[in-house]
Structure 1
Amino acid sequence: MNSTASMINGYDESNAANVEASTREMIAQRNALLGPCYKLFYENPVRFVRAEGVHLYDEQGRPYLDVYNNVPVVWHCHPRVVEAIARQASTLNTHTRYLTDEVLTYAKALLDTFPNELGHVMFTCTGSEANDLAMRIARFHTGGTGFIVSSYAYHGITQATAEISPSLGTHQPLGRDIRSVPAPDTYRQGSENVDERFAAGVEAAIANMQRHGIRFAGLIVDTGFSSDGLQLNPTGFLKQAVDVVHAAGGLFIADEVQPGFARLGESMWGFSRHGVVPDLVTMGKPMGNGLPIAAIVVKPELVREFGKSVRYFNTFGGNSVCIAAANAVLDVIRDEDLLTNSRQVGAYLRESLAQELEGIDCIGDVRGSGLFVGVEFVKDRASKLPDSGAALRVVNALREKRVLISASGAAANVLKIRPPLPFSKQNVDEFMEVFKEVLPEVR
């Protein structure tokens, strides 16, 4: 894995000699002003000055095909979203302690995409805040403190969510009351009994908590297991684990920041693929197409006493401008039928990849759903040993040919293909043409 604070596909200062002088100067200025904590993508970082559709443009006006960024879910600078933001910013921007129509209109539209059991929405600014709030509610309702997460999960950057994010690395230890369980890996373990294996891991983690005097509060997972290398299948494998959680008095929190908003092509939300109704659902990044808005959706009975005893307020959570952006995003997803596009174009992408990669020994698996696809690189198909070097060479070779992509998984060996939802079959062909050019460099 990349050595830069364990960040996958992170820029390493030791590679500075291979970066052009103007870029080095900008990196130096950035380091002086922003400090050492901020990281950059790619061996050769790229500077952007504008974006439109599924492309970003550098200072020379060259387009880069975006096959990675899920934040501009309805594409970069979508005119309907831009117009909604501008109109609202010139009219009113305030918080949720005043009565306004827009927040109610959006809340109803959002809740209409969920099962009836999930009846309240609470707004935050970021997915980290949403997960933090969901944990607070779960702990208040259950009286427990212990949470179970997947072994390479990422759930945020607040103190509480960093402590449930193993992917942040060993210098960010898990919380004392947190236990991790292996994510499913059907490539290595097969697709049989996935539900039983995962549920057994959850059950063992609960027992371990009890053995150490920790009261169990809940299970929180990204329903696409995105940071774990995109482990989506088989559909339905989460249900048995959720049953175990409920039997133990805990709650199930579905983190939909990455798999939600029609990303997986089969339904609006990733949890739907598993035939479960979560107790709480969190969402973030794509919600406002880049503006800071996130939320939790929750069963009303879970916040009845919480609302009386603790209350909740967030000055910018649910502000008028961000709500306008979020409402426009929902409208675009519906009016342009991006769920269908995600399903159809995603299937075409997976078929194109599988056909091109057939028989290539360093490619172990192509998996995914909708416009969320993983390509796993291995030393060889017999050993199935992860090959992070090959994956990252492809990521950086694509960058040099102006295609943006990244990687995921504990071994950083899974290409993470996650373009904006209006991605077309023509865009897939454009991506595949460049992908075929760079692949011989790692074989």
Structure 2
Amino acid sequence: MKTIFLFLFLIAGILANNPYPYNSGYPNNNNCVNYQYEPSAQDMNHQNQPIYRGGQTPTEILVNSNSNFAFKFFGLVSSNGGHWDQSGKKNIVFSPTCISSAFAMLALGARANTLDQILRGLEFRPSEIKERVIHEGFHDLIYALNNGRSGLKMDMGNCLFVKNKLHPQQQFLNGLRNIYGGDIFMENFKNTVETEQHINSYVERKTQGKISKFVDGIDPLTEILLVSYFYMKAKWKIPFDPKYTQQRDFYVDPHTVVKVPMMFQIGMFETGHDDERSCTILKLPYEGNVVAYFILPDRGQLEKVASSLSCRALQTWKRTLSKSFVNVYLPKFMASGELKLKDFMYRIGIVDVFTDRADLSGITGQPQHRLSGAIHKAMMMIDERGTEAAAASSMDMVPMSVPSILTFDRPFITMIVDEITHSILFMAEILNPTEK
């Protein structure tokens, strides 16, 4: 039985609120032409999106399932030791949107039970949601996130590196290009040095120079390599002023205390305490209709909070958080992480794709192919930088009453949510802000 070594690398780019220099990159001579995807002719809503049963657009159907997948996956990673190494527990950082889009794109080439497992694992219900609607939803979501907004830059996409003697099915290539906006490159994987340089250069450009060496060692037997990336750069709507950042204690656990640069500002922020889940929530807006939820578990309640996160919790917070004057102390940090997805995908029912039972015949026309590995790398940076004038003026507000104090000086959870599409872009569990 022939096996294609199909390595699936997923990148969840950079989340940052400071401006970075632009990297113009370079042209690629072996890049295939992309085509514009056009949805099927149907009744359209006022945003020119097709409407399906229940009055939902493909994006709305997609986001509901993506959110369920995000919380399920976070619970698995947080509880299953997925962020352990030889030194102990590690920070968790990942993009659920990036992971789900890559496996949905893989579903274009999956058939039979392999396809069913992928869709169900991503929290879609194949008996209720047509596969075409799922792919249209991803197309519309990628377009919405990449469309550009004031003060915000997002770049989400996919790329396929294919052995130069292999001929993928045209239908799969059309879907990759037209639905997911994917780039396609023909490679000689036996020339490992040149291939690694090409892949790393591509990733570096797509992440604005922030991930410079993504792969280090390519198996010369590789025939297909799939890259999915998500880069984000955003500014705080109300920036922190760097002159107020000071070194303060952060309590990693009852026996470990580290010094961290703690940002500070006072202002009107949406906050609240969730008694059911034993945590305090702070909502901070970025420019461009993106928000960050910082979730501070009550002492000793981190595992309870991590396992109780859900769509219902997020909807509750959206209704119940209220604005009040708050002194906010938030660590400045850069966290990165790598997850080997195979074990987690097994746990959610995506099994066959990694075994000899896989049917990925939609990629090459032959069923005897499997996915040999799936890796997700992510990086998140939080700091105080933003518009200098806004930062200066933000400290001039004088509350009429004594503000409450909210200090993130122990492990916490954060989520980055796009308020236009309601997509969860990033999730992180920060156990130690000094960990790189």
- TM-score bucket of the superposed structures, by smaller chain: under 0.3
| Higher relative helix content | 1
| TM-score, normalised by the number of residues in structure 1 | 0.24
| TM-score, normalised by the number of residues in structure 2 | 0.25
Higher relative contact order (CA 8 A, sep 6+): 2
| Higher relative strand content | 2
